[in-house]
Amino acid sequence: MTTKLDIAPNSDRELVLARIIDAPHENVYRCWTEPKLLTQWFSPTPWMTPRAEMDVRTGGSTLVVMADPDGKEFPNPGIFLEVVPGKKLVFTDAYTKAWEPSEKPFMTVVLTFEDEGEGKTRYIARVAHWSVADREQHEKMGFHEGWGQCAEQLEEVANRL
């Protein structure tokens, strides 16, 4: 079971999810960067992730499609801004493929994966929004509950590797 960490946001436009995940950091990173693994945990149940495409490199594009329980799909295109293999991923929806600006940027995510020893990972997700209103909207959408549930699902998948 993941263990919550109390890490404060850096600004009033940021949300943070911080956990100690009981799985090796290499596996947790793989779950974020390999589409076949990401689709197994990314959406909070009963939602699903029917497909994901990733060019995991700085400037590479990403597309993660979430689907609600009725099957309605919600595509989430973006670009990787920074990739430090095994340690850090930074991506944003401000751009779509080939650095095309998105219609409405919403967030930039900074993920860090640190070895905590004994097969555990210090996993921190910092989600910066363009405005306080966007941050509030993301909270109302269930950020803490949804991302928390996904962290537990991530742990399960990472432990099967």
Q: What is the 3-state secondary structure (H, E, C) of 19-84?
A: EEECCCHHHHHHHHHCHHHHCCCCCCCCCEEEEEEECCCCCCEEEEEEECCCCCEEEEEEEEEEEE
Domain count along the chain: 1
Q: Considering only CA atoms, which of 113, 100, 105, 115 is closest in space to residue 13?
A: 105
Range(s) of the domain holding residue 104: 3-160
Query: Which pLDDT tens digit goes with each residue over 68-89?
Result: 999 999 999 999 999 999 999 9
Which residue type sits at 22? D
Predicted TM-score (pTM) of the model is 0.95
Mean pLDDT score of the chain: 96
CATH number for the domain spanning 141: value is 3.30.530.20
Q: What is the pLDDT along the chain (161 residues), one digit of tens a residue?
A: 889 999 999 999 999 999 999 999 999 999 999 999 999 999 999 999 999 999 999 999 999 999 999 999 999 999 999 999 999 999 999 998 778 999 999 999 999 999 999 999 999 999 999 999 999 999 999 999 999 999 999 999 999 99
Contacts of 128 (CB under 8 A, 6+ apart): 10, 11, 13, 14, 107, 108, 109, 110
